[in-house]
Amino acid sequence: MSRYWQLWQVARGPTLAVALGILSGCVYRMPIQQGNYLDPAVIAQVKPGMTHSQVRYLLGTPMVPGAFDNTRWDYDYYLKAKRLKGPGRGHVSIYFANNLVARVDSDVKAAPFAEISARGAQAPEPHGGGVH
């Protein structure tokens, strides 16, 4: 056997390990998003006295609707975008009394990540009677 072949036999393991280490950093990891995107500007538009349909228009369908009690809607958001960075999380609870918003509890202080859309959302005006 030649000297180069013996050198290759010795260096093959560490060379392969380095190559695999470099290539594993090039793997694309898809962002994992769950729940409704919670934008603080949109959450701030939810005011006491709004109807269920107005809240649904602004925030979407609640992640955890009340099964037996429709006086509380919960919205959760989770986004794991990068490998080494912690996930973005947010939670909003909307409380209703007499089918109107009574109060809003939110732990969303800033947008979890960049805006999804440059177009803002506005709640529609309520249309007379009807169950919401």
Average pLDDT over residues 7-20: 74
> Which tokens in the block code for residue 76?
């959760």
Tens digit of each residue's pLDDT (9 = 90 or more) over 123-132: 667 766 555 5
Contact indicator for 70, 15 with CB cutoff of 8 Å: no
Q: Which residue has the higher pLDDT, 78 or 121?
A: 78
Q: What angle do CA 111, 113, 117 make, to 5 degrees?
A: 85
3-state SS, residue 74: strand
Residue 49 has pLDDT above 90, yes or no: yes
* Residues 6+ positions from 37 with CB-CB distance below 8 Å: 77, 112, 116
The predicted structure's pLDDT at residue 69: 76
Contact indicator for 75, 35 with CB cutoff of 8 Å: yes
Mean pLDDT, the chain, rounded, equals: 75
